[in-house]
Chain A
Amino acid sequence: MAELTVGTRRFDTATTRRSPFFEFLHRLFREKPLGAFGAVVCVVFLFTGIFAELIAPYGYNEMNPIDRLKAPSITYWLGTDQIGRDVFSRIVHGARTSLIIGFSAAFISILISTFIGVTTGFFRGKFDMIVQRMVDAWMSFPDLVVVIVAVSVFGPGMWQVILVLSLLYGIAGSRIVRSAVLTVKENDYVRAAESIGVSVPRILFRHILPNIMAPLIVLFTTRLAAVILVEAALSFLGLGVPPPAPSWGGMLSFEGRSYMFQAPWLAIMPGLAITIVVYNINMFGDAMRDLLDPRMRGFGGKKKTGQF
């Protein structure tokens, strides 16, 4: 196989052209083993959430009062809680809650970021200046405080949490999209398109959007991790998804606190689940950033990841 190396990129000359997706996977496993491991964990997390019923040996709210506060064993892999619910089953179903909230909020937030970022970055002028000051103002409120205030106004519930988190990260993320648009806009092909009178929507959809996909995908993974953490923190405070719905943060919350002294697995397991998932999403995201978008390397794209 004849290979040609230009800079850090490798071009296969003899092999047939692979689709970009497989090309990406190939490079991920070859150049970024830690990122590849993260990707595998993300896929496991995804399947756990989707097929929760098939994986969990018990229902998430199935109580066996005789077996309360049982230590981890063959029957109950990760032990049981104070009303005899299987901790493993609750964590598996909790993955679904995190998955739904994480993916919906991250996706909607990307749509919002793209809309604000592309319009302000492309049209600039007074409009951009005013919107930027609004974004400044919005970003000066800490994540968790905004979410707590919003929940106090709209009440707790899954959809409220998703909407608030989408708006929160959507507005904050518009900065990153905007700076990507500013760079792409300076390219000759955009100038050329403008000079031959291509309509603005066509320039946006055919030239700008496809070229900011890389930062958008990277932004999505960082948002996913941030949303899962904030949702867990919110449920921990008792302001997230109302019980008995299982959520990792909720399992750690104050109602179970007194039992945790007798049954430490109640405290250890859900936190471990959050840490493993968030850690691996971050690893995968970091690897993806290096592979897809070398310009974002460093700390430029890392602001506001949300941390509790």
Chain B
Amino acid sequence: MQRYLVRRLLAVIPTLFFASVIVFLVIRILPGDAVDLMIKSSPFIENTEEMRRQIELDLGLDQPMHMQYVRWVSGIIFHGDLGTSLIRDTSVGAEIAERVPVTMTMGLLAVLFALVIAIPIGVYSAVRQDTLGDYVGRSFAILGLAVPSFWLGTMVVILPAIWWGWSPPTRLVPFVEEPLRYLSVFVIPAAILGASLAAVTMRMTRTMMLEVLRQDYIRTARAKGLEEWLVVTRHAMRNALIPVITLVGLFIPIVIGGTVILERIFVIPGVGQLLLLAVQDRDYPVITGIFLVVGVFVILVNLMVDLSYGLLDPKVRDQK
């Protein structure tokens, strides 16, 4: 286990490094250099050649590329400095941090929805392979992969409004005051997001269950006269559901992409909405800040998924 742990931890370092290089390169190829933007956005700076050189010196732009990278990265690591918004003059890190809980709530609810719906259906589909129920379940899963969440979201806003004059709640109240009302805002978007996750989960649960149900120990369990539902729950599901954990790693990009869209439709002030606002305003520090935070978040979640997988699965745990 220790070897596995060490190897996995070491592998994450180059990944983090390359991810940060990608973000750094995006910052470098942005249209219009930083100096122009600073001069334009501040009324106190005169646009003279001397002034430009002074700013370049302050920003360290006279140094070679790799030195700039080192400065940028150490600023982030040691001071948590992601830059300053061009529009609002606030710290990018603080702006993102303020919105993370909102997006996180929606994402977690969506994952919860997906697992609660998909795992029973996936198990049922596998146990009753090639029956009508299996076909219906599988068709819905493929359909779930094809229906775009922005369309589903739009329909949920529009159709009930036409039919019953009802529209989903969008006003966020502080969680500490009215936790249920706070959560009610997320229920519908999270369910829509959860539907697309459920499609992937259901397919994987079914595949893994089918694999496990063919194993010898399942036959043994049946042969000794164990009731079928005990065979399924105690013997098959336990083993089949371990790989489903790796799905959580696969979920993250889908969840983040989905929240961008659903936050827009349901007017929820999360990180996705901040990103779209920043793109509209060409607020580059905010855009690249979110880009970096999202990338690092995905890498770390995947690391945790791999480690917990190692803990749960003896085949991985004990490998040399």
Q: Do A and B come from one complex?
A: yes
A260–B260 CB distance below 8 A:
no
CA distance A144 to B298 in the complex (A): 14
B162 interface residue per 8 A CB criterion: yes
Give CA–CA (A307, B149) in the complex, Å.
8
B207 nearest CB across to chain A (Å): 5
Q: Number of B residues whose C-beta is below 8 Å from A?
A: 60
In the assembled complex, B161 has its CB within 8 A of some CB on chain A: yes
Whether A144 touches B261, Cβ cut-off 8 Å, given contacts A137-B18, A151-B279, A268-B155, is yes
Instruction: Tell yes or no: B15 within 8 A of A by CB.
Output: yes
Task: Find chain B residues with CB under 8 A from A257 CB.
Answer: 154
Contact among B15, B31, B264, B294 for A136, CB-based, below 8 A: B15
Interface string of B8-34 (1 = CB under 8 A from A): 000100111111011000100111000
Q: Are A142 and B207 in contact (CB under 8 A)?
A: no
Q: Taking CB as reference atom, which chain B residue is nearest A232? A: B148
Return the chain A residue nearest B300 by Cβ.
Answer: A140
Report yes or no: B142 in contact with A283, Cβ–Cβ below 8 A.
yes
* A299: contacting residue among B31, B207, B260, CB under 8 A: B207
Question: Chain A: interface secondary structure?
Answer: helix
CB distance from B120 to the nearest CB of A (A): 19
Q: Is there contact, CB below 8 Å, between B148 and A271?
A: yes
Interface of B, secondary structure class, is helix
Q: Decide if B143 touches A152 in the complex (CB within 8 Å).
A: no
Binds B, one of A185-193, A200-208, A272-280, A288-296: A272-280
* Residue B116 CB within 8 A of the other chain: no
Q: Does A305 lie within 8 Å of B145, measured CB to CB?
A: yes
One of A75-83, A93-101, A211-219, A233-241 at the interface: A233-241
Residue of B250, B253, B295, B298 with most partner-chain A CB within 10 A = B253
CB within 8 Å for A133 and B146 given contacts A239-B279, A271-B155: no
Interchain CB contact under 8 A, B276 and A237: yes
Query: With A148-B276, A261-B158, A271-B148 in contact, do A140 and B256 touch (Cβ < 8 Å)?
Result: no
Is A140's CB under 8 angstroms from B19's CB?
yes
B4 within 8 A of A: no
| Chain A 292-308 near chain B by CB (<8 Å), digits 1 or 0 | 00000011001111011
- For the complex, give the distance between the alpha carbons of A239 and B280 in Å: 9
Cα–Cα, bound, A268→B22 (Å): 39
CB pair B145–A144 under 8 Å, yes or no, is no
Chain B, residues 132-147, CB within 8 Å of chain A (1/0): the string is 0000000000110111
A142 touching B158, Cβ below 8 Å: no
Most buried by B among A144, A261, A283: A144
Closest to B257 in A: A144
Q: Is the CB of A271 within 8 A of B151?
A: yes
Q: Encode contact with A along B277-291: 1 for CB under 8 Å, 0 otherwise.
A: 011001010011011
- Is residue B125 within 8 Å, beta carbon to beta carbon, of the partner chain? no
Task: Give the nearest-CB partner of A235 in chain B.
Answer: B150
Q: Does A2 contact B (CB under 8 A)?
A: no
Q: A133-B14, A299-B203 are in contact. Are A282 and B261 (CB under 8 A)?
A: no
Q: Is A267 an interface residue (CB 8 A)?
A: yes
Interface of A toward B, CB cutoff 8 Å: 130, 133-134, 136-138, 140-145, 148-149, 151-153, 225, 229, 232-233, 236-237, 239, 249, 252, 254, 257, 260-261, 264, 267-268, 270-271, 274-275, 278-279, 282-283, 286, 298-299, 302-305, 307-308
5 contacts between A and B (CB under 8 A): A137-B19, A140-B299, A145-B294, A149-B291, A302-B200
Closest 6 CB pairs of A and B: A271-B151, A137-B18, A144-B257, A279-B146, A142-B253, A137-B19
Residues of B within 8 A of A (CB): 11, 14-19, 21-22, 26, 29-31, 142-143, 145-152, 154-155, 158-159, 161-162, 196, 199-200, 203-204, 207, 250, 252-254, 256-258, 260-261, 264, 275-276, 278-279, 282, 284, 287-288, 290-291, 294-295, 298-299, 302
- A144-B261, A149-B287, A237-B261 known; 17 other A-B pairs, CB under 8 Å? A130-B14, A136-B14, A140-B298, A141-B295, A151-B279, A249-B150, A260-B154, A264-B162, A267-B158, A270-B151, A274-B151, A278-B145, A278-B148, A286-B142, A299-B204, A303-B250, A308-B261
